[in-house]
Amino acid sequence: MSDQSGFETVFRDSMDGLAILKNDIFVDCNQSMLNIVGATRPEQFVGQTPAEFSPPFQPDGMPSAEKAEIMISQCIELGCTRFEWVHIKVDGTEFWADVLLTKMTLDGEDVIHTSWRDISEKKLLELETHKQKLTFETLFNDSLDGLCLLTKEAYIDCNPAFVELFGFKEKSEVIGITPIDISPEYQPDGQTSLNKATTIIQTAFSEGKIRFEWMHQKLDGTEFWCEIVLFKITVEDQEVLYASTRDISEKKELEIALQRSFDEVKTSNHELEDMLENLQQTQEKLVESEKMASLGSLVAGVAHEINTPVGIALTGTTQLMEESRDIAQRYEEGAITEDDFEEFLSMANELSELVKKNLQRTAQLVKSFKQVAVDQTSEEDREINFKVYCEEVISSLASVIRKGQAEVSLDCPDDIQIMTNPGLLAQVLTNLIVNSINHGFSEGTGGSIYLQVREHEEGEISILYKDDGKGISKENLQKIFDPFFTTNRGKGGTGLGLNITYNIITSALGGSIKCTSVEGEGVEFAIKFRAKNTAY
């Protein structure tokens, strides 16, 4: 096969668009060239000039016809030239082509062999990449955050904000330095900046991204907190770190101030907790003191009550002893008469009866005192007859009641049997009666106390306590159950009596207590609670 026929075969079968250009006119082309320009017949391409398959101007602004002559002349001069060109198809669509012009001799004539390859997709990708690069550069340079590019060795680029952030004058002062050059020797956590930066940079390169806070240092030595984000990117086939640096000094100062405030509040809370614990302990001691004071009043009252019958019994016993000695002496002397002996027996019987009655009265008082005193210091439940127990409590307070010139009337059925902590009931009744005498009744005038007890369904007990004393002002009525509230502090009041009563009823007995009063018309307490186990 001759060279001519071989060239013809390659020319016709090539996938690239091939054409023969003679005297600036296409004189032949292959099918691929027709496909590239969108022609259906050779006549649409052959006989045309390159300018007719080109837009008026090329992307660099030169007229296509003028630039085509330059490229053809370059080919004739050098023998070959290659370049990129924007062509147009038959329908007017523009496309990028990689053009190769080769000077050759064909049939004894100088011609130019033209090869076109459509590179539109490649060119569009290049243009998009270039556009993205321009966008990146614009964002990079215009960002208010300090941006830079960092290799494992040093900074290779930065934006104006980064230059300004550290107090440099020119970008050239940054290129080539390392993060260590603009950091203090040690970071706030005690690590050296060198060791910590090395670890962070290695992590960023291995994991692709890292965010952290860093103490940087300006050229004038001023240290400031930064938030830094490192991204691994590829620039011109080299892996680098794209770093965003933001000054967070104000934020950090606020965090430190908030932490300091939090620590101060935490310390204050601990102090308040300690104070509250001490207050609770003190309150418990005061409550216990109030209970002991109540018990002390009970002891004093009972002692006073016992004093009279014991005194009478002692007097009677003494007189009986004297009469016995006298009758014995007369008996020894033989001077006793039958009448004397009968008179002695009658007198002895009277004195014995007197002593017996007063000792029985004393025993009853001691029994009541013992039971109430034990109840007030015990937390055990036991079964009681409500009326009997109320009478025992009232009896134990007889001295206090009499001293206060008060009268207590009890309205309670005989058959109310309940299982409860009687000491709590004794404390409640004692506090209410003592409160009426000390606060409700004017000194020297006394008053009346009415106590009504009723049993309802499912073991519910209601107690209505009333007095006809001075009453409570509207202003103080809402505060009477508050701890330490008293209108009689100057006379020894602790302000815990009604608070203890409230806590016993609402907490220990699981009930309720309400107080109503009109100043000058006395006070009324309505108490309700459920017995733990009502006995029938």
CATH of the domain at 96: 3.30.450.20
Helix, coil or strand: residue 416: coil
**One domain, residues 9 and 89:** yes
CA distance 178 to 200: 13
**One domain, residues 231 and 173:** yes
Structural domain contains residue 200: yes
CA distance 103 to 80: 6
- Looking up residue 391, the CATH number of its domain turns out to be 3.30.565.10
Q: Which residues of 371-400 are buried (b: 16+ CB within 10 A; e: fewer)?
A: bbbebbeeeebeebbbbebbebbbbbbbbb
Q: At what angle do helices 338-376 and 386-396 cross, to 10 degrees?
A: 110
Choose among 489, 522, 296, 528: nearest CA to 406.
522
**One domain, residues 483 and 398:** yes
Last residue of a domain, one of 55, 89, 118: 118
Choose among 163, 159, 164, 165: nearest CA to 147.
159
Which single residue is written with the structure tokens 């390169």?
A: 205
- Parts of the chain with a pLDDT under 70: 1-6, 134-135, 279, 282-308, 361, 363-379, 488-495, 533-536
Q: How many CB atoms lie within 10 A of CB 37?
A: 23
Strands (E), 343-459: 382-385, 406-411, 417-420, 447-455
Structural domain contains residue 309: no
Give the full edge-to-edge strand order of the sheet including 512-517: 406-411, 447-455, 460-467, 523-530, 512-517
Q: For position 1, what pLDDT does the model report? A: 44
**One domain, residues 213 and 111:** no
Structural domain contains residue 406: yes
Q: For position 198, what pLDDT does the model report? A: 94
**One domain, residues 154 and 240:** yes
Angle at 525 between CA 519 and CA 531, to 5 degrees: 175
**One domain, residues 431 and 414:** yes
Q: Which helix (H) or strand (E) holds 228?
A: strand 223-235
Last residue of a domain, one of 250, 270, 301: 250
56-89 per-position pLDDT tens digit:
999 999 999 999 999 999 999 999 999 999 999 9
Structural domain contains residue 229: yes
Torsion of CA 504, 507, 508, 514, to 10 degrees: 40
CA distance 51 to 26: 11
Last residue of a domain, one of 92, 118, 144: 118
Half-sphere exposure of 289 (CA within 13 A, CB side): 11
**One domain, residues 88 and 153:** no
Phi, psi of 319 (to 5 degrees): -65, -40
Helix, coil or strand: residue 225: strand
Q: For position 370, what pLDDT does the model report? A: 54
CA distance 253 to 260: 10
Structure tokens at 331: 């008996």
Choose among 59, 34, 58: nearest CA to 48.
34
Q: How many CB atoms lie within 10 A of CB 11?
A: 16
Structural domain contains residue 339: no
Which single residue is written with the structure tokens 């309505």?
A: 526
**One domain, residues 41 and 160:** no
Structure tokens at 141: 């340079």
Per the structure, the count of domains in the chain is 3
- Residue 192 has what DSSP assignment? B
Choose among 55, 68, 64, 54: nearest CA to 24.
68
**One domain, residues 149 and 198:** yes
CA distance 26 to 24: 7
CA diameter of the chain? 197
**One domain, residues 86 and 161:** no
Structural domain contains residue 261: no
Full domain range(s) for residue 424: 379-530
Structural domain contains residue 468: yes
Structural domain contains residue 265: no
**One domain, residues 141 and 111:** no
Span between the terminal Cα atoms of the chain, in Å: 135
**One domain, residues 107 and 230:** no
DSSP structure string for 379-395: ---EEEEHHHHHHHHHH
CA distance 150 to 158: 9
Helix, coil or strand: residue 349: helix
Helix, coil or strand: residue 445: coil
CA distance 420 to 422: 6
